[in-house]
Amino acid sequence: MNRTLYALCGADKSRPFSPHVWKTMLSLAHKGLDYYTKAVGFTQIPTIENGATTLVPVLRDGDQLVRDSFDIALYLDSAYPDRPSLFGGEGGQAMARFVESWSQLTLHPALVRIILMDIHDSLAPADQAFFRTSREPRFGMSLEAVAETGIGELKTFAAKLEPLRTTLKKQPFIGGETPLFADYIVFGPLQWARIVSPKTILEPGDPVLDWFERCLDLHNGAGRSVTAA
């Protein structure tokens, strides 16, 4: 096997938590492709592949180096066309872009505030210092002040999922009867929260929680390979 996925971890190097890396982990499982996971902390990312990136995921596949979860999914479908498709064709690719935008603009900004201190607390000391000095200017306030806003975000988070909830009353996956990359796009941030935070993000009985549990079961329970916080 000549395939390596660089995955962001906290102090515990057996617990990859990045939402974007999880999109790629399920993409590789969907394609039935084996890989080594190389755990990195935030401060190690610039050393990956001789400085090839500032962000993860990064996939080394033989002589190919591919960055960005969406580009990796496109690459996998193009490099391994005989394996189950992640997009189901060009229309699926285009619609997955919408799902990515919705997830990035609606789910990620709320979730990061809800779980910010849990992320911080899970990191190794050098990464905690980096996380504080890089995130506080971005938010314009201390991590603790951002986390205060997360209390309100948690109360309104379920409502943000209503478009997905309504869809899941008609079909088991965003991809239809079976999952596609669009499912993994939304799975990623919820898995991020599951792994770093003990907070209840989805209430029992919510169709979105039922879908999330179905996603955790996919590909021999790949999503359950890391336990909940």
Asked whether position 18 contacts ligand GSH by CB under 6 A, the answer is yes
Query: Is 32 strand, coil or helix?
Result: coil
Task: Write the secondary structure of 147-209 as one string of H (helix), E (strand) and C (coil).
Answer: HHHHHHHHHHHHHHCHHHHHHHCCCCECCECCCCHHHHHHHHHHHHHHHHCCCCCCCCCCHHH
Which residue among 19, 41, 88, 179 contacts ligand GSH (CB under 6 A)? 19
Of the candidate spans 68-76, 109-117, 197-205, 215-223, the one that interacts with ligand GSH by CB under 6 A turns out to be 68-76
Is 7 a binding residue for ligand GSH by CB under 6 A? The answer is no
Single out the segment in contact with ligand GSH by CB under 6 A; choices: 67-75, 78-86, 115-123, 169-177.
67-75
Q: Per rule CB under 6 A, is residue 15 in the interface with ligand GSH? A: no
Smallest separation, CB 24 to ligand GSH (Å): 8
Helix (H) or strand (E) holding 37: strand 36-40
Instruction: For residue 197, state whether it binds ligand GSH (rule: CB under 6 A).
Output: no
Per DSSP bridges, beta strands 3-8 and 36-40 are: parallel
Task: State the binding string over 126-165 for ligand GSH (x if CB under 6 A, else -).
Answer: ----------------------------------------
CB of 165 within 8 A of CB of 206?
yes
How many Cβ atoms are within 10 Å of 196's Cβ, its own excluded?
23
Please list, in sequence order, all residues whose beta carbon lies within 8 angstroms of the beta carbon of residue 201, skipping any fewer than 6 positions away: 111, 114, 154, 157, 190, 193, 194
Examine residue 69 and tell whether it contacts ligand GSH (CB under 6 A). Answer: yes
Q: Which of 5, 25, 40, 56 binds ligand GSH (CB under 6 A)?
A: 56
Residues contacting ligand GSH: total by CB under 6 A: 12
Q: Is 96 in the site for ligand GSH (CB under 6 A)?
A: no
